[in-house]
Structures are given as structure tokens and as C-alpha cells.
Structure 1
Amino acid sequence: MRVSMTLSLPRQPSSATRARHVLTTLLSLTDVSEDTRANLAVLISEACANAVIHADPGSDVDITISIDDHVCRIEVGNRGRSPDNTKLDADLPTPLTIGGRGLPLIGALADTAAFVSRAPGQVLLRITKHLTEARAAPAR
């Protein structure tokens, strides 16, 4: 199965929730495991929240979700600047109650995640997650 959707949401906190709802609805059409669905929900929530916080005023948050049999790709873009020398790894800040945990969470949960070069003043975060774990079949 292949499904994709593109959204352009306003730069406001509720957009992260809306994007997560769209993703979980699309994933409900697949056999992706609950653990993988939960990880993808965190990934899109954190990516969108960062876009809302760091985007230029008046910028929309542009989201593309592509799901096929093996991979989910999420792209979150906006007007603004990507952080210099940004690493998307799993070095979580201590304590976890402080800000700055979004990119480390993305790095820990995604199979790949990177800022992709675009036109000046444009930011695009591309995240991929392999969908190898299928949901368990219901008992008969």
C-alpha cells in the first residue's frame, strides 16, 4: 500500500496535534505495529513543535507524509533557519524536563533524520522510519 498527504498548517501549537492525528489516521490503514506507530507519533509531534517554535513569524508549517509498504517518510518544512552544526543523535539532555530534547528524541527514534538543503530562508527536516514490524494478527 502506498499513501501520501501534504499539509500546510498555521504556525501555532495545535498544528503539531493536527499533524499527529493525520499521521495516525493514515497509519490506521496499514499493518504497522503499535510500537512503530507510537514512535512515528512522537517523531511528527516533535518535528512540528520545533517548526512552530523556531519558524519565522507568519510562516506556515508544511508537512508531507509518505507511507509505503516498507518506509514512512515525514518532511516538515518552514521559513526560517536550521540550527548550525545540528546533530540528530540520541544524546538526550539531563534532566529531560529542560527544553532541547526534540532533536535528540527524533535522532533516537528515526532510522534517518536530517536537515535538507533548500532555498535560503527555508528549513526542511526529513525523517524516515522503516515499517518492518507488522501488527500482530488478531486471535481467532
Structure 2
Amino acid sequence: MPVSITLCLPREVESLRMARTVVSAALSALEVTRACREQFAIVVSEACGNVVAHADGTDAYVVRVNVTDGRCDVEVVDQGAGFVYDAQAPRPQPTAASGRGLYLIDLLTDQVIVTSDLEHGTTVWFTKRLEFTDTPTG
């Protein structure tokens, strides 16, 4: 069943829980496995957390979720100050205090695309093939 959800959220720490909860509930209703839902909870939290921590110049952001053909695409968009993104940058150390968010998103999804403009904000898009349970979740 195709599903499309758009959330307009304030740039506040509390919004991370809302984004995680909505995405997880939608995937649960579609009978996606718990492990797959947990991976989405991590990547949605990381993408939204980056907005909350770094998107100076904006008070809100948008999360778009589209489920179709056994895949889930998520797009997190802000109109903040943007940053210079280097897809070839070395991976962060596991003990690094910060900078692991985009790396985690890349590890836990099938594809991630980051576009950022210093004047128009940042978009983080990622997609992952869904794993479904064999029995309904109750």
C-alpha cells in the first residue's frame, strides 16, 4: 500500500521524537519488521537531529516519507544556512564526539543523497528496501 506523509516540525529537540514516532507507526501498520523500523528510527533521528543542531537561520523543517513498491524514501529539508558537504570525506572515528550522523545514515540505508546550499538550506534524502513480517504485528 503506498503511503505518503509530510511533517512540518519546529526546529526543537522535542520534534525528533515526533518524527521517529510517526515514521515508526506508519511502518508498523505496514507490517515492517521491528529491526527495519529500528533502523529507520536511528536514521530519521540522525537526519532530524542534524537540522536541530546545525540549521541556523530557520525555525522549522520538513520531513517527507514515501512508501511504495517495498521501499521507503525519506527526505528531511531545512531552509537553514547550509554547509559544504564532502561525500568523499573520511569516515569519522567511532569515538568522535560528533560528525557520525550522515555516516550512520549511509550505513543503515541503501542510498543517501545530501544537497546543501549555503544560502538555501539542506536536503538529506535516503531510501531503504523494507523488510516485512510474515505475520501481522498486533
> Do they superpose with TM above 0.5?
yes
Q: Is the 8 A contact 1:50 1:102 kept in 2?
A: yes
Match of 2:19 in 1: 19
Which residue in the other structure is 2:135 paired with? Answer: 137
Structure 1 gaps, min length 5: none
Two-structure CA RMSD over aligned residues (Å): 2.3
Residue in structure 1 matched with residue 101 of structure 2 by the alignment: 102
CA contact (8 A) 1:89 1:103 kept: no
Contact (CA 8 Å) 1:90, 1:105: kept in 2 or not?
no
Displacement, 1:2?
Answer: 0.8
For this pair of structures, how many residues does the alignment match?
136
Go from structure 1 to structure 2 and tell me whether the alpha carbon gap of 1:85 and 1:116 turns closer, same or farther (over 3 Å shift): closer
Task: Answer with 117-126 or 67-76: which moved more.
Answer: 117-126
Residue 48 of structure 1, CA deviation: 0.2
Letter matched to residue 67 of structure 1 = V
Contact 1:88 1:106 in 2 (8 A): no
Is 1:78–2:45 an aligned residue pair?
no
Separation (CA, whole Å) in 2 of partners of 1:119 and 1:6: 24
Q: 1:48 to 1:2 in 2, by over 3 A?
A: same
> Percent sequence identity over matched residues?
33
Displacement of 1:92 in angstroms is: 4.1
Contact between 1:3 and 1:68, CA under 8 Å: does it hold in 2? yes
Contact 1:88–1:114 (CA under 8 A) maintained in structure 2: no
How far, CA to CA, are the matches of 2:4 and 2:56 in structure 1? 26
Amino acid at match of 2:134: A
Paired residue secondary structure (1:128): strand
The 1-side partners of 2:89 and 2:41 are apart by: 18
